[in-house]
Structure 1
Amino acid sequence: MTFKLAIIGGSGLYDIDGLEDARWQAVETPWGPPSDEMLTGRLGDLALVFLPRHGRGHVHTPGSIPYRANIDALKRLGVTDVISVSACGSFRETMAPGDFVIVDQFIDRTIAREQSFFGPGCVGHVSVANPACPRLAAACAGAARSTGVTVHEGGTYLAMEGPQFSTLAESRMYRESWGADVIGMTNMPEAKLAREAELCYATVAMVTDYDSWHPEHGEVDVTRIIATLTANSAHAREMLRALPDHLGARPVPCPAGCDRALDHAILTAPGARDPALVAKLDAVAGRVLG
């Protein structure tokens, strides 16, 4: 299998410089248009696709991002591995603004988004017990650490619906009762859809603030967030340039089973499947649907 990496850039990260043979490419999907065109190119010998999650100019809200189209488009381009780079708030004093957190778990609090490629006429259930690929996460940690950023390996990301920030009561509950470490608005259902598409997936969460729980920081201030975002984005670009030295050869199959997530996931009998939905699943689930 050819190793092809995708970077999904969050707030503050709308392009990547230094790519060889770089060009923006439109991709059509049966789920509608993705957030933007895809920037394709190479980092040395590494084939890479970059997608600005919110679109260039930041035109998509967390709830309007076409998550299914984004993941489908990456799959159509032959992507095998996806690294999500996302801004987040922190529930831990030790995870300070400017730090990077390599997320390994999620709590999904989104309520108004399409959660799956599957549905009536082709029912599928995948496991997301361990939604992050350990191999890919370790490479991200190594690349980030090489830039001098403080890196925390492991953390639970709470995905909220947004677009508003948390109330103080919510922030305290997520931190004290639920045990979340960071909070953001965009990694769900993205991580779930990546698993359905049998893509290895990892999240690098860039801390911008302490949400609203911290007694010395008070409510979230967008002005301060933007200042931290700018610095974080510069570090993120350094991390991405360092990635090829930390990825190594891609094992096939993935030791964590990411690329075989659909082996036993489809419940609908072949004769009962909706041909229209099966046709839409050609890129995501073609391996098992034929």
Structure 2
Amino acid sequence: MTVYAIIGGTGLTKLEGLTISAVLNIETPYGAPSAPILRGNYADREVLFLARHGHPHRIPPHQVNYRANIWALKHAGADVIIAVNAVGGIHAAMGTGHFCVPHQIIDYTHGREHTFFAGELEHVTHIDFSYPYNDILRDELVEALAAEGVAYSSHGVYACTQGPRLETVAEVARLERDGADIIGMTGMPEAALARELELPYACLALVVNPAAGKTHAIITMAEIERALDNGMDKVRATLARVLAG
């Protein structure tokens, strides 16, 4: 049976309802993962869970050890990865509380350890990253969202920015011209690293605020936290439907 790994982002540092059977402290060639990997049962299915920002939430996006996280999940037995991401909305459809299952990503990050193919190599390796998200996993997420009856988009372009600050109005305008629909800070290099280790990967994105310039109000953490509180039950229900098959 396929072993699903869930990477929880902001608002999902623990997976309520997970019956934990093992806490895995895995050492990797790239250092320590963000948190121990939890193996357990969720929705009558064995799963692995990793808090991307640690538990408690303490590691900013640009300091997450993405290589250690993905390597550790592979080592723990993950067959596929579903990443949960809190994002800002650019496209008019992407209002607060809306879900998106992106089909493409644009990487605006810099200075992150972004590949396993580095150091003393026997040969140069290039992966095909034309389509960064796995379509089978994406379809499972879309079907689950539809069954939950929540507002969602089955496609979208994820712009991954460096963080930890939020973007300027001019930056968001540029991202919109580039074709981005949502903005996050953790989608890369996570997706590319999963591809390098041949782990099918998909993203479940929850919009927690309008992007800069999409509202006249200043974006506040209180606003984001309210959206997270309101959305996490729907995230968990969606994941449970996927795992239930």
TM bucket by the smaller chain?
over 0.9
**Paired residue secondary structure (2:46):** strand
Partner Cα separation in structure 2 for residue 44 and residue 98 of structure 1:
24
CA contact (8 A) 1:211 1:219 kept: no
CA contact (8 A) 2:45 2:244 kept: no
Partner Cα separation in structure 1 for residue 104 and residue 110 of structure 2:
18
User: TM-score, normalised to structure 1's length?
Assistant: 0.81
Residue deviations 1:18-54, cap 9 Å, x none? 2345332211111101000011112355320000100
2:194 paired with 1:156: no
Please state how far the C-alpha of 1:121 moved relative to its aligned partner: 2.5
Please state how far the C-alpha of 1:13 moved relative to its aligned partner: 0.2
Q: Which runs of 5+ in 1 are unaligned?
A: 247-290
What is the aligned residue count?
243
CA contact (8 A) 2:20 2:38 kept: no
> Which amino acid in the other structure matches residue 207 of structure 1?
V
Residue deviations 1:65-121, cap 9 Å, x none? 000000000000110100000000011121111011001100000002011001142
> Which amino acid in the other structure matches residue 40 of structure 1?
R
**Paired residue secondary structure (1:73):** helix
Residue deviations 1:132-168, cap 9 Å, x none? 0000011011122222221100100000001111111
2:187 paired with 1:187: yes
> Which amino acid in the other structure matches residue 113 of structure 1?
R
Deviates more, 1:36-45 or 1:180-189: 36-45
Deviates more, 1:90-99 or 1:17-26: 17-26
> Which amino acid in the other structure matches residue 114 of structure 1?
E
Partner Cα separation in structure 2 for residue 129 and residue 219 of structure 1:
36
| 4+ aligned runs moved over 3 Å, structure 1 | 20-23, 216-219
Partner Cα separation in structure 2 for residue 151 and residue 26 of structure 1:
35
2:208 paired with 1:205: no
Match of 1:24 in 2: 23
Partner Cα separation in structure 2 for residue 114 and residue 120 of structure 1:
12
* Superposition pairs of residues 89-168 of structure 1, within 5 angstroms: 89-122=88-121, 123-168=124-169
Match of 2:62 in 1: 63
Structure with bigger gyration radius: 1
> Which amino acid in the other structure matches residue 152 of structure 2?
V
Partner Cα separation in structure 1 for residue 150 and residue 43 of structure 2:
23
Please state how far the C-alpha of 1:182 moved relative to its aligned partner: 0.1
Match of 1:11 in 2: 10
Partner Cα separation in structure 2 for residue 38 and residue 22 of structure 1:
11
Partner Cα separation in structure 1 for residue 21 and residue 230 of structure 2:
24
**Paired residue secondary structure (2:203):** strand
Partner Cα separation in structure 1 for residue 20 and residue 205 of structure 2:
28
CA contact (8 A) 1:38 1:49 kept: yes
Residue deviations 1:260-280, cap 9 Å, x none? xxxxxxxxxxxxxxxxxxxxx
* Superposition pairs of residues 66-77 of structure 1, within 5 angstroms: 66-77=65-76
Deviates more, 1:216-225 or 1:102-111: 216-225
Q: Which runs of 5+ in 2 are unaligned?
A: none
**Paired residue secondary structure (1:146):** helix
